[in-house]
Structure 1
Amino acid sequence: MFIDEVGASEQVKNIDKIRKSKDIQINGIKSSKSDKLDISKSSEFQMTIKEALAQTPDIREDKVREVSQKIENNTYRTSSSAIAKKIMESDEYNGIRSELFS
């Protein structure tokens, strides 16, 4: 068996140490061996909505009480055009619309 360089085994050990280390440098750019998660804007928006819904009560008792009293007193009036206008002007609708059509 012919060995052409003394210390060649040390070079192999050094390469192995570099491979096992957390940080790697390739072409002058330092990179870390770690898991990475990229979330699309759509997914971020969905997570934001889920978080907001989780914090919002299912039933707004004050509104239910108010409407119930108006119905009992026969003073409850609705306007479909006013309701539609409020929906169209709402920040929530505009946020959803801009997210869907962007």
Structure 2
Amino acid sequence: MSYISGSYASDQDGIAIATYSWLLPDDTMARGVVQIAHGLAEHAGRYDRFARALNDAGFHVVASDHRGHGQSIHTVGGDFGAPGFPGLQADMVQLGEELKSS
């Protein structure tokens, strides 16, 4: 099973935040959804093996690259932009809320 990549626009400043989803087949009832927040010196793609293990345990998995990391680098790597760390936190909450409503 491979991941599906996408993105969403941050409510903080409109930048694109890259997302990755490891989903179970359509005919499989998921036990739940796990949202992964990666560490500050990495990116969400590093969690592929862990996400696949969670899939094997019956969970859908969604992760995003924090602003300034991985596919969410828009200026300088590691730069959170004007919203700073609170913006990163708000991005994670926004993704979680979008997951709950879908």
Q: TM-score range by the shorter chain?
A: under 0.3
Higher strand proportion, which one? 2
Higher relative contact order (CA 8 A, sep 6+): 2
TM-score (norm 2): 0.22
Bigger Cα Rg: 1
